[in-house]
Amino acid sequence: MMQAQDVQTASSPAAPLLAVRDVSVVFGGIIALNGVSFDMQHGQILGLIGPNGAGKTTLFNCLSRLYQPSAGDILMEGTSILSRPPHRIAEIGIGRTFQNVALFANLSVLDNVRIGTHARTHSNIVSDSLRLPRVRRSESEIDRRVHEVLGYLDLEDVAHVMVSGLPFGTQKRVELARALATDPKILLLDEPAGGLNHEEVHVLGDLIRRIRDERKMTVLLVEHHMGLVMSIADHVVALNFGRKLSEGTPAQVQSDPDVIKAYLGSKHQ
Ligand SMILES: Nc1ncnc2c1ncn2[C@@H]1O[C@H](COP(=O)(O)OP(=O)(O)O)[C@@H](O)[C@H]1O
Ligand SMILES: [Mg+2]
């Protein structure tokens, strides 16, 4: 006889970490997203591709809660995240970087990364003002975590350098460090390869894979250019004109005639 556990394993695939369900976003008259659905599984690197204007950033901003979908739902471990404001997504394990680096230019690398961790610190005003031991412990815990992440991303040498003085590629790494310092379950990356040269893109690809393997994270990688996505993603979702155009392994999506047509037809490609 089958055990209850076996029945469950046999009848339902692993529950997704994140589920995007029929999400639509309308800006004025423009339908930026039109009924998009897909799942992200634990430990996956999911590549979200599509020509300019396809709706990638709009979807990304729904996930990071900057935009509210006009319809549909987004579930993290089975629970809707749509009532959550952007400053409260780190608590449930969603970390993000921005397409155009969004750091405090006049603060040091260390301070920028430290700011990221505050989203996940549950100290309250009373215990803060009394400097109770719990808070002190949490401060030293933050220090430990920040330095661990700076070391991991090879940023210790520039920890006290002001961000504005750093090359763009290094600034992007600082953003990544800030997201990692919150110890997210899902890391959302919007066009991390943008503005990087060929060698830097290669290094970034290795790094994203290492982060997934060593830090056990699930990664959503939004990219306009296919190269990086095709080399590191396990699963790819292609958007075009706000709709899901194709979904599957990188090889499947890359050879899908609809995807090829969409990219050839895009003047920005
Ligand atoms: N804040 C906004 N207000 C109005 N229209 C927007 C806004 N953001 C995006 N759009 C429109 O939604 C569509 C999808 O854009 P976007 O998500 O930025 O695409 P992608 O990131 O794939 O290039 C485009 O037609 C774009 O012009
Ligand atoms: Mg975009």
Which CATH number does the domain housing residue 200 bear?
3.40.50.300
Cα 64 from chain centre: 8
Which pLDDT band holds residue 100 (cuts at 50, 70, 90)? low
| 210 and 188 co-located in one domain | yes
What is the identity of the amino acid at 106? N
Contacts of 193 (CB under 8 A, 6+ apart): 200, 201, 204, 223, 225, 228
Establish whether residue 238 lines the binding site of ligand 1, counting it when its CB lies within 6 angstroms of any ligand atom: no
Query: Which stretches within 95-247 are classed as H helix?
Result: 109-118, 125-130, 133-152, 168-180, 198-215, 226-232
| 30 and 161 co-located in one domain | no
| 220 and 257 co-located in one domain | yes
Query: Which helix (H) or strand (E) covers residue 32, if one does?
Result: strand 30-40
- Choosing from 168, 183, 198, the residue where a domain stops is 183
Atom number in ligand 1 closest to CA 242 = 14
Q: Which domain holds residue 47?
A: 16-93+184-269
Establish whether residue 168 lines the binding site of ligand 1, counting it when its CB lies within 6 angstroms of any ligand atom: no
* Strand order through the sheet with 94-96: 94-96, 186-190, 218-222, 45-49, 235-240, 243-248
Residue of higher predicted confidence among 102 and 55: 55
* Average pLDDT of the residues in 44-52: 95
Establish whether residue 58 lines the binding site of ligand 1, counting it when its CB lies within 6 angstroms of any ligand atom: yes
Q: How far is the CA of 49 from the centre of ligand 2 (A)?
A: 10
Signed CA dihedral, 243, 246, 249, 253: sign only: negative
Q: How far is the CA of 57 from the centre of ligand 2 (A)?
A: 4
At residue 99, the pLDDT reads 67
CA-CA distances (angstroms) from residue 52 to 22, 173, 241? 21, 24, 9
In the chain, the number of structural domains is 2
| 23 and 48 co-located in one domain | yes
**Are the beta carbons of 18 and 75 closer than 8 angstroms?**
yes
Which ligand approaches the C-alpha of residue 68 most closely?
A: 1
Which pLDDT band holds residue 53 (cuts at 50, 70, 90)? very high
Which ligand approaches the C-alpha of residue 24 most closely?
A: 1
Establish whether residue 51 lines the binding site of ligand 1, counting it when its CB lies within 6 angstroms of any ligand atom: no
- Choosing from 152, 183, 214, the residue where a domain stops is 183
| 178 and 232 co-located in one domain | no
Q: How far is the CA of 139 from the centre of ligand 1 (A)?
A: 40
pTM of the model as a whole: 0.85
pLDDT tens for 186-217 read 999 998 888 888 998 999 999 999 999 999 99
Residue 189 belongs to a domain:
yes
Query: 53-67, 81-95, 134-148 — which is least confidently predicted?
Result: 134-148
**Are the beta carbons of 49 and 237 closer than 8 angstroms?**
yes
- How many whole angstroms separate alpha carbon 157 and alpha carbon 173? 13
Atom number in ligand 1 closest to CA 28 = 4
Residue 114 belongs to a domain:
yes
Which pLDDT band holds residue 153 (cuts at 50, 70, 90)? very high
Residue bearing the CA closest to ligand 1, atom 27:
53
| 265 and 205 co-located in one domain | yes
| 148 and 76 co-located in one domain | no
Establish whether residue 30 lines the binding site of ligand 1, counting it when its CB lies within 6 angstroms of any ligand atom: yes
- Choosing from 133, 163, 183, the residue where a domain stops is 183
**Are the beta carbons of 112 and 75 closer than 8 angstroms?**
no
Q: How far is the CA of 55 from the centre of ligand 2 (A)?
A: 7
| 244 and 255 co-located in one domain | yes
| 193 and 89 co-located in one domain | yes
Residue 121 belongs to a domain:
yes
Q: Which of 56, 57, 58 to mutate to test the pocket of ligand 1 (most atoms within 8 A of CB)?
A: 58
Residue bearing the CA closest to ligand 1, atom 6:
27
| 127 and 230 co-located in one domain | no
| 171 and 188 co-located in one domain | no
pLDDT tens for 215-239 read 999 999 998 778 899 999 999 999 9
| 179 and 198 co-located in one domain | no
Q: How far is the CA of 130 from the centre of ligand 2 (A)?
A: 45
Give the torsion through C-alpha atoms of 167, 169, 175, 176, to 10 deg. Answer: -150
* Average pLDDT of the residues in 33-56: 96
At residue 12, the pLDDT reads 54
